[in-house]
Amino acid sequence: MTIEELKESIRCVPDFPSKGIMFRDLTTLIKNGEALKDMGKLLADLYKGKGVTKVVGIESRGFIGGSILAYELGCGFVPARKPGKLPAVTIKKAYAKEYGVDTIELHSDAISSDDVVVLHDDLLATGGTMRACYELVKSMNPKKIYINFIVELEALNGRAVLPDDCEVTSLLKF
């Protein structure tokens, strides 16, 4: 499938979760085997030859594309989770959200200084969660960090809060 066909496979749901929001529902893309396969290959093409050793997927929808990306690249997958979900010693980062504070955690041994990491989430809106994940991974001193999304909502300008020192890519832009 082409990029345009992948975009067309995403359902738009008006006024969800609240009035005035146009929700981009990726479940219609991922339920289509051909679209899911092509999405995975297109994501991997962005990072082939860059020495990626780990993909960090952000809970929960980042687990889907992140796992596929790690599989396609032949590297490890690391889940970035909400508090209390990981069984071993963790490090964490709190961050502000529109209505309060949230926290993201990684196992303390998930990333090493030898790793080249892709941080992955399904959608870039305001960028706060990804920024927190970036700061958490950066504190573990990997060789390099890349940031990746399946979908970017350009009008929300989420890239503005992301770091200038790393490449940010989005497969589909709305």
Q: Quick one: pLDDT at residue 49?
A: 97
* pLDDT over 70 percentage in the chain: 100
How many of the other CB atoms lie within 10 Å of CB of 49?
A: 6
Domains of the chain by residue range: 50-173
Look up tokens 């303390």; give the residue. Answer: 108
- The predicted model gives 82-109 an average pLDDT of 94
Does residue 143 contact residue 135 with C-beta atoms inside 8 Å? Answer: no
Calpha distance 11→109 (Å, rounded): 38
Could you tell me which of 75, 81, 31 has the C-alpha nearest to residue 57?
81
Calpha distance 138→153 (Å, rounded): 25
Calpha distance 146→117 (Å, rounded): 6
Q: Give the tokens for residue 7.
A: 């975009």
Which pTM does this prediction carry? Answer: 0.96
162 burial (CB, 10 Å; 0-12 / 13-18 / 19+) is middle
Could you tell me which of 56, 116, 105 has the C-alpha nearest to residue 82?
105
Q: Indicate which residues carry an active-site annotation.
A: 61, 98
Reply yes or no on whether the pLDDT at 99 is more than 80. no
Q: Quick one: pLDDT at residue 97?
A: 80
- Strands 144-152 and 116-124, how do they pair? parallel
Q: pLDDT class for 39, splitting at 50, 70, 90?
A: very high
Class level of CATH domain 50-173: alpha beta
